[in-house]
Chain A
Amino acid sequence: MNVTVLAKFVPNPTGTPSLGPDNLLIRDAGDGALDPGDEYGLELALQLVEAGGGEVTVVSMGPAEALAGVQRGLAMGAHRGVLVTDASLRGADALVTARVLAAAVGRIDYDLVIAGVESTDGYTGTMPATLAELLGVAAVTAVRKLEPDGDDFRAERQTESGYDVLTAPKPALITVTAGATQPRYPSLKGIMAAKSKPVETVSAADLGVSDLTPTQTVAAVTDAPAKAGGEIVTGDDAVARIADLLADAKVI
């Protein structure tokens, strides 16, 4: 079984991101990393291939720095990578991204495409459903468990009140929830091996995607009104202060 994993390179996932003068997120500050939300899917892909054979391909779209994210996937054990990088893709919205990724993913033989539920920087969470429709494959989002079942996949999908089980014929696309797997750390051997694994770098034009005009543009960015300063307490009266607040709010 061949699995393609979509991997996004995001600005420092644990830090505070910032905007550049063009009101776009600064993506090349040197502190970026593979989106932690994508590592769960990578781990799932590696487990599926280890159990059933085949290859894992990591596909990423981003600035040249995003190569580091692809390499992280290769160091974890993926077999090869594709990086779509193109200055004209800066500021791409979810539709442009889905079109570019559809072209990139469509060139590779796959039984399964795995993405995160949403990215850690944009939180849009719609691109995978758009991509699946463009690819013409069934999609199951918010998957917490997946098993191959003959010509189908059997997936547990997180719902508001519990979970549903869905079946989807191969090939399919899923998004994987954070916590679905325990992502492995790249071993030293894996990091060394990653350096000799094939990574193809392509532009939007190479993929034959020409309409890159975003349909959303930032009109204005303003600071949200600052919240009135709260109070910090450390002493023995903390408990009484919380109880006072609860009483003041008339909830006790």
Chain B
Amino acid sequence: MGATWVYAEVTPDGAHPSALELLTKARGLGGEVAAVALGPGASSTAKELGEHGATMVYASDDQAFADRPGRTAAHTLHALAGQHSPSLILFPGTYEGRDVAGCLQALTGSTLMANATDVESSSRARTEILGGTKIVDVNLAGPEPRLVLVRPKSFPPEPSGGTAEVVAVDAVTPPGATATVVERHAEAASGPKLEEANVVIAGGRGLGGPEPFAMLDDLAAAIGGAAVGASRAAVDAGWVPYAYQVGQTGKTVKPDVYIAAGISGALQHVVGMKGAKRIVAINKDADAPILKIADLGVVGDLFQIVPALTEEVRRRASS
């Protein structure tokens, strides 16, 4: 098969971890592997991208990619793909990946598969549906490059020890109207990152309001190195910021232990956490779907169990 490209999202901390995951996968597909990194800091990610299998990195540090997101990257990718004719472009299943791939699809008329969990070739990929209970193999057809959005953390990143040739590219200014970023706001987050923590404690509708999240914070502090997350129901209700959200629309986590407190286990949530090594669910409803995927399900009152667990963890730590 022809070349596989990886759309490497650029963050202030370097390449988004998904880029390294996708490059690791792309190496195994046969054919050339290249990465496309667009936005401030892009060229400094080339070393990392090369170490994970990109032989070529098309990079631009142009501020336009950050200020006029989505379309600028899609039109630039479209021009690049027209010159080099890759067979397949892999995107991370992030907001940015979706926007760029969605816009690019309108320009190329090529297929765009979302939520892929594995990729076999430019004509076949895999996804999971119905909360991961069914595996679906999908045939991809139509003009190349075919576009596939891959769920974060589908593949463990492994360095190949290679180096990449860096090719500087120019930002394409799209015709017509493009939305422009005029302000950026970071919402304060404390503690370890959700995606990196080895223990995640998540709260849902069963918490009943914002205040009980302090209970989860206490448990996280007692365990140490634990992060607090939430289901979409708790985020939609405004109890905690969006940055807490675990699930299809939020973050995908694979901690050593995931503790779900007052979370029913909607498919939306389950796809973001079912990869945890051990799942503990605390729910007062014995029929809650989350109990079916839990290694340890506790049917009971989280308002008693969580503080008692915090005490027990502290007691064991000090004994």
Identify which of residues 266-284 in chain B touch chain A, using a CB-to-CB cut-off of 8 Å: 268, 277-280
Q: Are A139 and B112 in contact (CB under 8 A)?
A: no
Closest residue to B271 on the A side, CB-wise? A123
Q: Which one of A118, A133, A144, A160 lies within 8 Å of B103 (CB-CB)? A: A133
B99 proximity list for chain A (CB < 8 A): 129, 139, 141
The answer to whether B236 touches A167, judged by C-beta atoms less than 8 angstroms apart, is no
Q: Which of B40-48, B55-63, B309-317 contacts A (4 or more CB under 8 A)?
A: B309-317
**Do A137 and B313 have beta carbons less than 8 Å apart?**
no
Whether the Cβ atoms of A218 and B136 lie closer than 8 Å is: yes
Chain A residues with CB under 8 A of B296: 230-231, 233, 241-242, 245
Known: A169-B177, A251-B198. A234 touches B300 (CB 8 A): yes
- Judge whether A196 is part of the interface by a CB distance below 8 angstroms: no
A136 within 8 A of B: yes
Q: In the complex, what residues of A have CB within 8 A of residue B183's CB?
A: 164-165
B160 sits at the interface (CB 8 A): no
Q: Which of B103, B237, B279, B295 contacts A130 (CB 8 A)?
A: B103
Are B182 and A133 in touch, CB under 8 angstroms?
A: no
- Answer whether A238 and B177 are a contact pair too, CB < 8 Å, given A19-B134, A223-B133, A249-B278: no
A252 touches B298 (CB 8 A): no
Could you say which residues of chain A place their CB within 8 Å of the CB of B140? 215-216
Measured between beta carbons, the chain A residues less than 8 angstroms from B256 are 249-251
- The distance from the CB of B71 to the nearest CB of chain A, in whole angstroms, is 7
Known pairs A125-B98, A126-B149, A241-B296; A216 contacts B138 (CB<8 A): yes
Q: Is the CB of A126 within 8 A of B180?
A: no
**Which residues from chain B contact A159 at a C-beta distance below 8 Å?**
95, 184
Q: Quick check: is B85 within 8 A (CB to CB) of the other chain?
A: no
Count A/B pairs, Cβ under 8 Å.
248
Residues from chain B with Cβ under 8 Å of A231 in the complex: 295-297
Choose, from B26-34, B162-170, B241-249, the stretch at the interface.
B241-249
Q: Does B235 contact A (CB under 8 A)?
A: yes
- Closest CB of chain B to A252's CB: distance in Å? 6
Contacting pair B138 A124 (CB below 8 A): no
Q: How far is the CA of A217 from the CA of B316 in the complex (A)?
A: 54
The reply to whether B136 and A126 contact each other, CB–CB distance below 8 Å, is no
* Total number of B residues with any Cβ neighbor in A under 8 Å: 91
Say which residue of B106, B179, B186, B249 sits within 8 Å of A168 (CB atoms): B179
Given contacts A172-B177, A219-B124, contact A132 B134 (CB under 8 A): no
Whether B316 pairs with A127 at a CB distance below 8 angstroms is no
* Contact between B176 and A136, CB atoms less than 8 A apart: yes
A60 to B121, CA, bound (A): 34
Which residues from B are CB-within-8-Å of A247?
A: 316
Distance A26 CA – B101 CA, assembled complex (angstroms): 28
B185 within 8 A of A: yes
**A251–B297 touching, CB < 8 Å:** no
- Nearest B residue to A125 by beta-carbon distance? B98
In the bound complex, residues from chain A placing their C-beta under 8 Å from that of B133 are 223-224
What is the minimal beta-carbon distance from B231 to any residue of chain A, in angstroms? 12
A128 to B99, CA, bound (A): 9
Q: A-facing mask of B120-142, CB < 8 A → 1, else 0?
A: 00001000101011111111111
Partner among B181, B242, B300 whose Cβ is within 8 Å of the Cβ of A164? B181
Provide the residues of chain A in CB contact with B130, threshold 8 Å.
16-19
> Closest chain B residue to A40 by CB distance?
B236
Expressed in whole angstroms, the Cα–Cα distance for A217 and B139 within the complex equals 5
Once bound together, how far apart are the Cα atoms of A249 and B291, in whole Å?
19
- What 1/0 flags go to A221-252 for Cβ under 8 Å of B? 11110010011111000111111011101111
- Bound-complex Cα distance A158 to B236 (A): 12
Question: Given contacts A220-B137, A249-B277, are A162 and B187 in contact (CB under 8 A)?
Answer: yes
Known: A126-B149, A217-B138. A94 touches B300 (CB 8 A): no
Is there a chain A Cβ closer than 8 Å to B207's Cβ?
no
Q: Is A89 an interface residue when CB atoms closer than 8 A count as contact?
A: no
Closest-by-CB residue of B relative to A25 is B129
Q: How many Å from the CB of B199 to the closest CB on chain A?
A: 5
Report the minimum CB–CB distance from A129 to chain B (whole Å).
Answer: 3
The minimal Cβ–Cβ distance linking A23 to chain B, given in whole angstroms, is 8
Contacts of B221 in A (CB 8 A): none
Q: Does A166 contact B (CB under 8 A)?
A: yes
Give the distance to chain B from A168, nearest Cβ to Cβ, in Å.
4
Interface positions of B (Cβ within 8 A of A):
70-71, 74, 94-95, 98-103, 105-107, 109-115, 124, 128, 130, 132-142, 149, 176-187, 189, 198-199, 223-226, 232, 235-238, 241-243, 248-249, 256-257, 259, 268, 277-280, 286, 291-300, 305, 308-309, 312-313, 316-317
Q: List 30 A-B contacts (CB under 8 A).
A: A95-B109, A120-B268, A123-B115, A129-B102, A129-B106, A130-B105, A130-B106, A138-B178, A141-B95, A141-B98, A158-B242, A162-B185, A164-B184, A165-B182, A177-B242, A178-B232, A178-B236, A215-B142, A217-B139, A221-B136, A224-B134, A227-B293, A230-B296, A231-B296, A239-B308, A240-B312, A242-B305, A242-B309, A246-B223, A252-B317
Closest 3 CB pairs of A and B: A129-B102, A179-B236, A133-B106
Question: Given A141-B99, A224-B135, list of 8 further CB < 8 A pairs?
Answer: A23-B136, A126-B98, A139-B179, A160-B94, A172-B177, A179-B236, A217-B139, A221-B137
